[in-house]
A = this chain, B = another copy of it.
């Protein structure tokens, strides 16, 4: 299978949500037109996105909701649970630790680290906040799949260096800073301001 683009992956993840809603409503099939409408794209785009993975739809009948949901889940690697470490027990970390959407999708936060002695040892959602100085040794003993970095901008690169040293290959970054990682490590930076900019564009071009 050839490597698909980041925007295609994002659309697939969005289609999966719509399929799960449809499944919960007892629907059996869904058309490319309906997926397109829900996802704010075109039927042609939906068919193109799904054609990467072979033929699913039947002309005139649409896609089988459970079959397509299961196939997209498999493509995204969601058929297994992921262990997640959270670094940064501030406001953003707290919001993420409580975010219900992660657990539903099989992303389980299994460790939380911070550098603040006042936070270390405190229990959060049943987990004890650990000292960031133990990050590398703890992760070596007990490897995780994905790290979430929710530290202040100044601390983020240093934390990421430790995560990389400890063998982490996938990092979700909430700190407003560009991070350097080796080519075999995947980093996604969630940029809150960028989302507001797309709204600013919409307001300016009404």
* Interfacial residues, chain A to chain B (CB-CB below 8 A): 1, 3, 6-7, 9-10, 13-14, 16-17, 21, 40, 75-78, 82, 84, 90-92, 94-96, 98-102, 104-105, 107, 145-146, 153, 169-172, 176, 178, 184, 186, 188, 190-206
Set of chain B residues within 8 Å of A146, measured between Cβ atoms: 196, 199-200, 203
Contact A205 B91 (CB under 8 A): no
Set of chain B residues within 8 Å of A186, measured between Cβ atoms: 199, 202-203
Contact B190 A172 (CB under 8 A): no
Set of chain B residues within 8 Å of A206, measured between Cβ atoms: 169, 184
Q: Indicate which residue in B13, B176, B191, B203 contacts A198 across the interface (CB closer than 8 Å).
A: B13
| Assembly CA distance A196 to B110 (angstroms) | 15
Set of chain B residues within 8 Å of A21, measured between Cβ atoms: 178
The 5 listed contacts between A and B (C-beta, < 8 Å) are A9-B197, A77-B203, A78-B200, A146-B196, A171-B199
Contact B145 A194 (CB under 8 A): no
In the complex, what residue of chain B is closest to A84 when comparing beta carbons? B196
| A22 CB → nearest B CB, Å | 12
Set of chain B residues within 8 Å of A101, measured between Cβ atoms: 176, 191-193
Contact A196 B95 (CB under 8 A): no
Contact B102 A193 (CB under 8 A): yes
Contact B201 A145 (CB under 8 A): no
| A159 CB → nearest B CB, Å | 16
The 3 closest A-B pairs by CB, nearest first: A77-B204, A92-B95, A91-B95
Contact A197 B99 (CB under 8 A): no
Contact A105 B203 (CB under 8 A): no
| A180 CB → nearest B CB, Å | 12
| Assembly CA distance A203 to B144 (angstroms) | 12
Set of chain B residues within 8 Å of A205, measured between Cβ atoms: 1, 3, 77
